[in-house]
Chains A and B, each alone.
Chain A
């Protein structure tokens, strides 16, 4: 498929709803699930960079291209999704079905791909990882299920002449990569800072559409959710809490250094 140069682009940003980053999360020992009351749901902070990148592309293209937010989440997360609309996205689609609950990375990528194909896309943007699962594996799997090139860890992204070009971060520098559309790119935190929603944006978001797609609306051939997960959690235990060690006040630099050296030698670290 070749995207004509003068066509408006459907930019789809895949986001995740996660527990608030700053909350001290806790697991209920009975249900072995995250206690949601202790952790407000927010947009995954990494995904805000993808939303920002999508909005900037739309503004640069200024040709009627649009930004659609897609997320797999229960409908109770609607107001969180609305925050992405308040930043300036045009519309949102929630993939919500009890059958999606308990999805692992594989199932999440599979369902998102089905949703994104249904929406229609030229460019899919994601964050690089989520703050709860931190697998960093969704963008690659999603690109594969969509059957498109995946340009990951992009700190800069440009679209021109039917191609997407990114600066991809590497451990020691960067690569410039390009690929024809349709394609997927994941956006790093080194890209542009996400904008705050303006009052006007917040008001406008109230009128924007948040569509809901269910399992039956999607072309899904395999079992998804907990039943379809390729990984089965057999044990889940709370990490032992770290106990406080000792506190030593150092009279001067030398005394402080000696305290540390003695401690490291005691632990065979020196």
Chain B
């Protein structure tokens, strides 16, 4: 494979951050391969998104401006396939997100491409692309090389740099596949204000059983997460108790995160939770139990009352960050 294609997800007229990270990685890997860096954007807002993408170091931005494709996976897979087959053997980068995994896996099956999940580093060795991914919840780290002509890597959000570049990318239109799609989108409903997902946040503030109920998740933890510009996570116990929705669950049966800072509030640190956050760069725990298992792998365990500590911490963080702004 020689060229690299970043699949661009977008919402409300803006590209997703992980897609900009994919664009940045596309440049780096393409340079190592001696090939070119591309982006594929599909949807009603595709032209506007392409304009914004011009700030990133891509050679070509391929655009299918078609509002009928919004919210559907198949048109994106078709567009990606059209571009990839025209370019020849290439590496496709998608975000390791709900949409990225769907588009990437369908494309991979269509062209018999290898599929590397959750890549945290991509390198070229002897002309072959290799991806580094944590497996088994970070227990082991694998390095895999593609044996196939085409490859797909789902990149972990928040790991690759989204560095703007020359702004000289060419924008070209993708030839529509011209076929009808079997899947019908009947409605697309937003129930929550778009917020930063736990997988993309650089700071995650999580709560567990120790919080005793749903309310601290929307007050205490939300305030602390907001102070950092981060996201609220939760342990399985908190989700099972119905205190917060499943989308926030971190752990083996939830999401895997690797933020710069993970703050665990009232979470004991059972193995189920640990595997979802052990790759965070720094872990701070607040727990009333000095013997909580989380103390064995947190960088700092503060033993005390979270309901007293967190509000004080919120104002301290706000003050500290206000100075920097």
Interface residues, chain A, with chain B CB atoms under 8 Å away? 21-27, 34, 45-46, 104-106, 109-110, 131-145, 148-153, 165, 169-180, 183, 188-190, 222, 229-239, 241-261, 263-265, 267, 269-270
Known: A25-B136, A235-B142, A238-B139. A109 touches B109 (CB 8 A): yes
- A23-B274 Cα distance, complex, nearest whole Å: 12
Q: How far is the CB of B13 from chain A (nearest CB, A)?
A: 14
Question: Which A residues are CB-close (under 8 A) to B11?
Answer: 171-172
Q: How far is the CB of B183 from chain A (nearest CB, A)?
A: 5
Known: A230-B115, A256-B308. A248 touches B141 (CB 8 A): no
Closest 6 CB pairs of A and B: A253-B308, A230-B114, A140-B105, A250-B304, A144-B109, A135-B117
Q: How far is the CB of A190 from chain B (nearest CB, A)?
A: 5
Known: A151-B183, A242-B297, A249-B290. A137 touches B112 (CB 8 A): no
CB-nearest residue of chain A relative to B101? A136
Taking a contact as CB atoms under 8 Å apart, the answer to whether A261 and B316 are in contact is: yes
Residues facing A in B118-166 (CB within 8 A) are 118, 130, 134-148, 151, 154
Contact with A along B233-277 (1 / 0, CB 8 A): 000000000000111000011001000110000000001100000
Contact with A along B68-110 (1 / 0, CB 8 A): 0001011001000000000000000000111001111110111
Known: A150-B106, A180-B182, A245-B299. A230 touches B320 (CB 8 A): no
- A137-B189 Cα distance, complex, nearest whole Å: 24
Question: Which B residues are CB-close (under 8 A) to A175?
Answer: 71, 185-189
Known: A175-B185, A244-B296. A233 touches B144 (CB 8 A): yes
Question: Which A residues are CB-close (under 8 A) to B252?
Answer: 21, 131
What are 19 pairs between A and B in contact, CB < 8 Å?
A106-B113, A109-B105, A131-B253, A133-B117, A134-B117, A136-B101, A137-B108, A152-B102, A165-B186, A170-B98, A178-B183, A189-B246, A244-B296, A245-B300, A247-B295, A252-B304, A256-B304, A259-B302, A263-B300
Q: How far is the CB of B287 from chain A (nearest CB, A)?
A: 10
- A4-B141 Cα distance, complex, nearest whole Å: 49
CB-nearest residue of chain B relative to A19? B136
Contact with A along B197-228 (1 / 0, CB 8 A): 10000000000000000000000000000000
Taking a contact as CB atoms under 8 Å apart, the answer to whether A231 and B145 are in contact is: yes
- Counting chain A CB atoms within 10 Å of each CB, the highest count among B98, B143, B185, B278 belongs to B98
Taking a contact as CB atoms under 8 Å apart, the answer to whether A244 and B297 are in contact is: yes
Taking a contact as CB atoms under 8 Å apart, the answer to whether B191 and A173 are in contact is: yes
Known: A106-B115, A133-B135, A247-B301. A230 touches B147 (CB 8 A): yes
- Choose from A104, A171, A238, A244 the contact partner of B140 (Cβ within 8 Å): A238
- Counting chain A CB atoms within 10 Å of each CB, the highest count among B71, B106, B116, B145 belongs to B106
Interface size class of B (residues with CB under 8 A): 35 or more
- A169-B271 Cα distance, complex, nearest whole Å: 27
- A239-B146 Cα distance, complex, nearest whole Å: 22
Question: Which B residues are CB-close (under 8 A) to A229?
Answer: 114, 147
Question: Which B residues are CB-close (under 8 A) to A142?
Answer: 109
Known: A140-B109, A152-B98. A174 touches B316 (CB 8 A): no
Contact with A along B273-308 (1 / 0, CB 8 A): 000001100111010001000011111111111011
Taking a contact as CB atoms under 8 Å apart, the answer to whether B115 and A135 are in contact is: yes
- A106-B309 Cα distance, complex, nearest whole Å: 48
Taking a contact as CB atoms under 8 Å apart, the answer to whether B300 and A150 are in contact is: no
Taking a contact as CB atoms under 8 Å apart, the answer to whether B143 and A261 are in contact is: no
Taking a contact as CB atoms under 8 Å apart, the answer to whether A140 and B101 are in contact is: yes
User: Does residue B35 face the partner (Cβ distance < 8 Å to A)?
Assistant: no
Question: Which A residues are CB-close (under 8 A) to B325?
Answer: none
Question: Which B residues are CB-close (under 8 A) to A109?
Answer: 105, 109
Known: A256-B286, A256-B312. A150 touches B73 (CB 8 A): yes
- A149-B302 Cα distance, complex, nearest whole Å: 50
Question: Which A residues are CB-close (under 8 A) to B115?
Answer: 104-106, 135, 137, 141, 230-231
Question: Which B residues are CB-close (under 8 A) to A239?
Answer: 134, 138-141, 278-279
Q: How far is the CB of B319 from chain A (nearest CB, A)?
A: 9
- Choose from A110, A141, A177 the contact partner of B183 (Cβ within 8 Å): A177
- A238-B136 Cα distance, complex, nearest whole Å: 10
User: Does residue B311 face the partner (Cβ distance < 8 Å to A)?
Assistant: yes
Taking a contact as CB atoms under 8 Å apart, the answer to whether B312 and A254 are in contact is: yes
Known: A138-B105, A230-B114. A174 touches B189 (CB 8 A): yes
Question: Which B residues are CB-close (under 8 A) to A179?
Answer: 182-184
Q: Give 9 new A-B contacts, CB below 8 A, not counting A149-B183, A150-B106, A171-B194.
A: A141-B109, A165-B186, A231-B116, A232-B145, A238-B140, A238-B141, A250-B304, A253-B307, A260-B309
